[in-house]
């Protein structure tokens, strides 16, 4: 029989050994798990990455072409109408009728207003009676009235010779006057001018002129439109007393208009009549294709500009006098130039370049440039990167950071924009 104290001493080392074995077993399992995890991670990170597909850049392209390069001349101005007349009275009196209002469309010859004609009808009848009286006196004296047609014919020949002599500087103006008077007196003594003298002596000449004047005054009591147009500025009413020269209204015809623009003196050297013009009218948003009609022979000394007239039709009266216009005039024209769209040109390292489309790649070409306008740049040479010929396509968008040989995908083909295509025919290009 073992004592109780001795049993405790026996079991204590045994428990310690069992406890130590359990700890070691647990640590071993954890280590194994860690080794397994590390191995798995090593296996996963040890695999090579799959190569990524190169992304294409979407761009727009334009075409290289051989064509005209037109240098534009700009000028501002306004629309005016060449057919606008202020109607004024030619006789005085009371307005018996006013037939129009502002804004009315009238035709040529239409009566706009009338002045009381009675006084002028009386004057015409009076002058007619005096005319008949003079004819009666002339008939009574007809037996003394003899005309020498031969003398009149000779006078006409001698007068023509005298006028020719004066025009050549053979005689002075005073000598011509004296010799003409002598010819007239000689012809009169021979029987020329007897009819005119007879009419004057009997009062027929004065009566005839008075009758014509009275008839004209009577006609002027009707104020008529000189051409078809629109009434504006009407400032008389029925019953108003009119004085001679009083303004009645204005008649304007806007079916044909003209733009008056001012071109700087330095821009005149390349301009001539007939040059094409793109006339922008901001009020309507329209741009008209027209031509230069008149170039003023003089300059405004204050502004150093020259006025140019550009005429155009306005059948629907869409445009009105006073509207602002901006003219783009074809100035210097350079034919058969090698051109690329202006937005294809880039500057890198202070050198101009374009990106040429080469299958699905952008190939940069360093170029030399010449003339240019708002749409096109002339290419005078390609000195590195490849070749460039008419018909090639170049990148015109999304190319500011584009690299050489970058992969591209064409989004849109931008057609050539030639704003002057309407203007120049093959005959214009002939030397």
> Which tens digits make up the pLDDT trace of 135-164?
777 666 665 556 677 877 888 888 889 889
Distance (Å, whole) CA 302 – CA 296: 15
pLDDT value, residue 207: 83
Residue 9 scores a pLDDT above 50: no
pLDDT value, residue 185: 81
Residue 347 scores a pLDDT above 90: yes
pLDDT value, residue 32: 42
Q: Binning pLDDT at 50, 70 and 90, where does residue 3 land?
A: very low
pLDDT value, residue 22: 46
> Which tens digits make up the pLDDT trace of 295-345?
999 999 999 999 999 999 998 889 999 999 999 999 988 989 999 999 999
Whose tokens are 């109607």? That residue is: 87
Whose tokens are 């079916």? That residue is: 255
Beta-carbon contacts of residue 342 (< 8 Å; ≥ 6 apart): 372, 373, 374, 375, 376, 377
Distance (Å, whole) CA 312 – CA 192: 56
pLDDT value, residue 205: 79
Taking a C-beta distance cutoff of 8 angstroms, is the pair 313, 291 a contact?
A: no
* 193-198 contacts, C-beta under 8 A, 24 or more apart: 193/152, 194/145, 194/146, 194/147, 194/148, 195/145, 195/147, 198/138, 198/141, 198/145
Taking a C-beta distance cutoff of 8 angstroms, is the pair 407, 360 a contact?
A: yes
Q: What percent of the chain has pLDDT over 90?
A: 58
Instruction: Using DSSP bridges, classify how beta strands 406-414 and 57-63 pair: parallel, antiparallel or unpaired.
Output: parallel
Whose tokens are 């203007």? That residue is: 423
Residue 292 scores a pLDDT above 60: yes
Residue 267 scores a pLDDT above 50: yes
pLDDT value, residue 417: 78
pLDDT value, residue 159: 87
Distance (Å, whole) CA 238 – CA 354: 75
Whose tokens are 């008077």? That residue is: 181
Residue 16 scores a pLDDT above 50: no
Distance (Å, whole) CA 156 – CA 152: 6
> Which tens digits make up the pLDDT trace of 28-73?
444 444 444 444 444 444 455 556 778 999 999 999 999 889 999 9
* 76 token code pair: 């501002």
Distance (Å, whole) CA 431 – CA 72: 21
* 277 token code pair: 């013009």
3-class DSSP string for the chain: CCCHHHHHHHHHHHHHHHHHHHHHHHHHHHHHHHHHHHHHHHHHHHCCCCCCCCCCEEEEEEECEEEEEEEEEEEEEEEECCCEEEEECCCCEEEEEECCCCCCEECCCCEEEEECCHHHHHHHHHHHHHHHHHHHHHHHCHHHCCCCHHHHHHHHHHHHHHHHHHHCCCCCHHHHHHHHHHHHHHHHHCCCCHHHHHHHHHCHHHHHHHHHHHHHHHHCCEEECCCCEEEECCCCCCCCEECCCCEEEEEECCCEEEEEEEEEHHHHHHCCCCCEEEEEECCCCEEEEEECCEECCCCECCCCEEEEEEEEECCCCCCCCCCEEEEEEEEEEEEEEEEEEHHHCEEECCEEEEEEEECCEEEEEEEEEEEECCCEEEEEEEEECCCCCCCCEEECCCCCCCCCCEEEEEEEEECCCCCCCCCCCHHHHCC
Beta-carbon contacts of residue 142 (< 8 Å; ≥ 6 apart): none
Structural domains for the chain: 60-69+335-429 (2.40.420.20)
pLDDT value, residue 183: 85
Instruction: Using DSSP bridges, classify how beta strands 84-88 and 247-252 pair: parallel, antiparallel or unpaired.
Output: antiparallel
- Number of neighbouring beta carbons within 10 Å of residue 273: 11
Nearest alpha carbon to residue 324 among 18, 75, 5? 75
Distance (Å, whole) CA 190 – CA 196: 14
pLDDT value, residue 37: 45
Residue 350 scores a pLDDT above 50: yes
> Which tens digits make up the pLDDT trace of 152-202?
788 888 888 988 998 998 899 889 888 888 887 887 777 776 667 666 767
Distance (Å, whole) CA 250 – CA 380: 58
> Which tens digits make up the pLDDT trace of 376-426?
999 999 987 789 999 999 999 999 999 999 999 999 999 887 788 777 654
Taking a C-beta distance cutoff of 8 angstroms, is the pair 388, 255 a contact?
A: no
Taking a C-beta distance cutoff of 8 angstroms, is the pair 59, 409 a contact?
A: yes
């Amino acid at each position: 029989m073992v004592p109780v104290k001795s049993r405790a001493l026996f079991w204590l080392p045994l428990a310690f050994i069992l406890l130590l074995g359990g700890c070691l077993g647990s640590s071993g399992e954890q280590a194994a798990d860690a080794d397994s995890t590390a191995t798995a991670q090593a296996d996963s990170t040890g695999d090579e990455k799959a190569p990524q597909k190169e992304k294409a850049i979407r761009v727009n392209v334009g075409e290289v072409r051989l064509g005209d390069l037109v240098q534009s001349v700009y000028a501002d101005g306004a629309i005016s109408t060449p057919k606008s007349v202020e109607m004024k009275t030619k006789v005085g009196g009371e307005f018996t009728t006013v037939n129009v209002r502002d804004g009315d469309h009238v035709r040529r010859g239409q009566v706009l207003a009338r002045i009381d004609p009675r006084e002028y009808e009386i004057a015409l009848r009076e002058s007619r009676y005096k005319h008949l009286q003079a004819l009666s006196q002339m008939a009574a004296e007809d037996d003394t009235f003899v005309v020498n047609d031969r003398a009149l014919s000779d006078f006409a020949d001698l007068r023509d010779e005298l006028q020719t002599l004066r025009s050549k500087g053979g005689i002075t103006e005073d000598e011509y006057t004296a010799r003409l008077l002598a010819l007239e007196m000689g012809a009169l003594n021979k029987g020329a001018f007897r009819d005119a003298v007879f009419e004057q002596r009997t009062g027929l000449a004065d009566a005839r002129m008075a009758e014509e004047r009275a008839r004209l005054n009577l006609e002027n009591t009707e104020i008529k439109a000189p051409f078809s147009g629109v009434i504006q500025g009407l400032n008389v009413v029925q019953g108003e007393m009119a004085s001679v020269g009083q303004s009645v209204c204005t008649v304007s015809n806007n079916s044909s208009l003209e733009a008056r623009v001012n071109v700087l003196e330095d821009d005149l050297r390349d301009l001539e009549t007939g040059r094409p013009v793109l006339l922008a009218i901001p009020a309507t948003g329209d741009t008209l294709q027209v031509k230069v009609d008149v170039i003023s022979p003089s300059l405004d000394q204050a502004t150093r500009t020259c006025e140019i007239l550009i005429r155009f039709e306005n059948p629907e009266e869409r445009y009105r006098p006073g509207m602002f216009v901006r003219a783009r005039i074809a100035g210097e024209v350079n034919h058969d130039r090698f051109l690329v769209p202006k937005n294809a040109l880039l500057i890198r390292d202070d050198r101009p370049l374009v990106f040429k489309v080469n299958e699905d790649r952008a190939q940069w070409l360093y170029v030399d440039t010449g003339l240019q306008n708002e749409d096109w740049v002339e290419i005078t040479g390609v000195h590195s990167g490849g070749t460039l010929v008419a018909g090639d396509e170049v990148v015109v968008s999304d190319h500011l950071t584009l690299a050489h040989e970058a992969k591209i995908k064409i989004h849109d083909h931008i057609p050539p924009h030639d704003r002057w295509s309407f203007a120049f025919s093959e005959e214009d290009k002939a030397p």
